[in-house]
Chain A
Amino acid sequence: MSELKTLYQDLILDHNKNPRNFKKLTNANRHAEGYNPLCGDQYTIYVQVENDIIREVGFEGSGCAISKASASVMSSLLKGKTIAEAEELITLFQKLVTGTADPMEEIDRVGKLAAFAGVSEFPARVKCASLAWHTLRAALEDKEQVVSTEV
């Protein structure tokens, strides 16, 4: 059960059950679609950017608990961040879920994201956790094509 706890932490279960910002943003000026063809996870990330600052984030779609909680936590962290700060978070998250960053060392920057460090113990689930973040990057870069985990 202890391993289970490291993956399905309370924060992840909570965000899965009650996802934050789980809506289409009608005033979004950036958006992108992300898809994991292996499990059917599919999300659209909406971002409203003003003067290089992320004003609002929303997302729609469906998928497993890990992917949905990841999208939800991400959306709650982005408001007010500059695009450069968001890019940094994306990189940090990727390092966390692949086990290349130690959450204890980067405790100040990691915050809520620490809940996802357990994902690194489950290689089959890293793509689930990363999907929303890859999609966010595409949205910020204003890319038109659908982001896929299988490229």
Chain B
Amino acid sequence: MKKAVETVLPFTSKSSHAIERIRADFPILKREVNGKPLVYLDNAATSQKPLSVIETLRNYYLEDNSNIHRGVHHLSQKATEGYEQGRKNIASFIGAAEPEEIIFVRGTTEGINLVAHSLVKEMIKPGDEILITGMEHHSNIVPWQIVCEQTGAKLSVVPINDKGEIIFEEYEKMLTSNVKFVSIVHISNSLGTVNPIHTMIEMAHDKGIPVLIDGAQTVSHMKIDVKDLDCDFFVFSGHKMFGPTGIGVLYGKRKYLEMMSPYQGGGDMIKSVTFEKTIYNDIPYKFEAGTPNIAGVTALGSAVDYINGVGLDRIYQHEQELLQYATESLLNIDGLRIIGTAKNKSAVISFMLEGIHPHDIGTIIDLEGVAIRTGHHCTQPVMQRFGIPATARASFAVYNTKEEVDVLIRGLDKVKKVFQ
């Protein structure tokens, strides 16, 4: 792909030409909400989609729609190509050793459930422990609670400090010989904390414990190399990385995927079926029963192309600048408190305004066209840890600008005026 000169410049200044070009790729950013230009700051919930991804979805249904695998006709081969190209794109995007280690699922939640069901539930015994952290999303808590209920194993939780960082000494202490599986979030969706997963994986591996990384908040913000990380599983959702909803990825090391039992039975996951015996297919197909989300995978491949075209290094740099600018601007507001002040953060800011409930903040700034999320962000234990019912959360993506941060700040001033 030939790159234009401007696209390699960093997006340093306010509203640089480069960022305007990025914004032009996302049609929804042109719309108005409540009569005001949309300021979309809910990217940790889901990102917006570039035209190239929307076009891929559209073209798939207009031109190539057909069922994949085993079809000898032209369209089936086109659809299969698009689907398997998506797998290859994803594999190289996260640095997997081979495309067969990429399993398509509905999203992060299903990826974690698959590992919980097909691996951990099978190998864990009463008295064994599964270790998670105090900042997990419900999707990295509940599947393990179900496994524990069914097996008599115990769920242990590494505590977090007042800044919203994992207490490292506790992690070290809790990695006992009872622990049979570690499942940790890379970037907290409610606190923005970036966990030192490289070291945490190494420490678990020193004790022979496999590790799953929840990368839902990672993939469109930060470069990932699963070989370098050496994680055993890495899961993420397509819709948070400019792709469609309903498609996600489970990366797993071949050695684990091969020893795991199937997740669901059905078509495509078999080599041969008789009423006496069924022979399961090889990976990745063993885990992809039924007609998969072909359009979703094909469009996800296109989302990867989009991210690669912009460049994750530049995305990271731009979002860190936004994080710094937004943090400073927010802290200028009297009575505003940021929840999650870790040293290493992603561009996610949870905050409270003294005496004003996050829901009231959210409703009032929505009338200014600003979309933020308010509530517990599916991390109720984090709320309990900080003794708060909910937060207001602004989360950024590559297409956000400092001007949009200014609109947020003006909106919050208005909130304060209503409640003064």
Interface set of A (CB-CB < 8 Å, partner B): 1, 3-4, 7-8, 13, 16-17, 37-42, 62-66, 122, 124-125, 128
Query: Contact: A65 with B419, CB < 8 Å?
Result: yes
Chain B residues numbered 40-98 whose CB sits less than 8 Å from any CB in chain A:
none
B215 to A: closest C-beta gap in Å: 26
Query: Contact: A66 with B360, CB < 8 Å?
Result: yes
Known contacts A66-B360, A128-B359; A39 and B374 CB within 8 A of each other: yes
Query: Contact: B357 with A63, CB < 8 Å?
Result: yes
Query: Contact: A4 with B390, CB < 8 Å?
Result: no
B364 contacts partner chain A, Cβ-Cβ < 8 Å = yes
Given the complex, which residues of A lie within 8 Å of B111, measured CB to CB? none
Q: Give complex CA distance A62, B383 in Å.
A: 15
Task: Point out the residue from A8, A13, A40, A125 that lies within 8 Å of B376, measured CB to CB.
Answer: A40
Query: Contact: A8 with B375, CB < 8 Å?
Result: no
Q: Give complex CA distance A37, B358 in Å.
A: 14
Query: Contact: A39 with B389, CB < 8 Å?
Result: yes
Given the complex, which residues of B lie within 8 Å of A7, measured CB to CB? 363
B331 contacts partner chain A, Cβ-Cβ < 8 Å = no
Task: Point out the residue from A1, A17, A37, A64 that lies within 8 Å of B359, measured CB to CB.
Answer: A64
A5 to B: closest C-beta gap in Å: 9
Query: Contact: A39 with B367, CB < 8 Å?
Result: no
B418 contacts partner chain A, Cβ-Cβ < 8 Å = yes
Q: Give complex CA distance A39, B266 in Å.
A: 40
- Choose among B364, B374, B375, B389 the residue with the greatest number of A CB atoms under 10 Å from its CB: B389
Known contacts A4-B418, A13-B419, A65-B419; A39 and B363 CB within 8 A of each other: no
B199 contacts partner chain A, Cβ-Cβ < 8 Å = no
B35 to A: closest C-beta gap in Å: 9
Task: Point out the residue from B34, B356, B390 that lies within 8 Å of A39, measured CB to CB.
Answer: B390
Q: Give complex CA distance A42, B389 in Å.
A: 9
Interface set of B (CB-CB < 8 Å, partner A): 34, 356-360, 363-364, 367, 374-376, 380, 383, 388-390, 418-419
Known contacts A3-B34, A4-B367; A38 and B375 CB within 8 A of each other: yes
Given the complex, which residues of A lie within 8 Å of B375, measured CB to CB? 38-40
Q: Give complex CA distance A19, B270 in Å.
A: 64
Q: For the A-B complex with A8-B360, A39-B359, A40-B383 known, give 13 more contacts whose Cβ atoms are closer than 8 Å.
A: A3-B34, A3-B367, A7-B363, A8-B418, A37-B380, A39-B375, A40-B389, A40-B390, A41-B389, A65-B356, A65-B360, A65-B419, A125-B363
Given the complex, which residues of B lie within 8 Å of A62, measured CB to CB? 389
B365 to A: closest C-beta gap in Å: 10
Q: Give complex CA distance A38, B373 in Å.
A: 12
Query: Contact: A63 with B367, CB < 8 Å?
Result: no
- Choose among A41, A65, A122 the residue with the greatest number of B CB atoms under 10 Å from its CB: A65
Q: Give complex CA distance A130, B37 in Å.
A: 32
Given the complex, which residues of A lie within 8 Å of B376, measured CB to CB? 38-40
B268 to A: closest C-beta gap in Å: 37
The 9 closest A-B pairs by CB, nearest first: A40-B389, A64-B357, A64-B359, A65-B360, A40-B390, A64-B360, A39-B359, A39-B390, A39-B375
Q: Give complex CA distance A97, B216 in Å.
A: 37
A14 to B: closest C-beta gap in Å: 11
Task: List 15 interface pairs A-B (beta carbons < 8 Å), by A numbering.
Answer: A8-B418, A13-B418, A38-B375, A39-B357, A39-B359, A39-B374, A40-B390, A41-B389, A63-B389, A64-B359, A65-B419, A66-B360, A125-B359, A125-B363, A128-B359
Q: Give complex CA distance A1, B417 in Å.
A: 12
| Chain B residue with Cβ nearest A65 | B360
Given the complex, which residues of A lie within 8 Å of B358, measured CB to CB? 39, 64
Q: Give complex CA distance A100, B388 in Å.
A: 34
- Choose among B359, B375, B380, B418 the residue with the greatest number of A CB atoms under 10 Å from its CB: B359
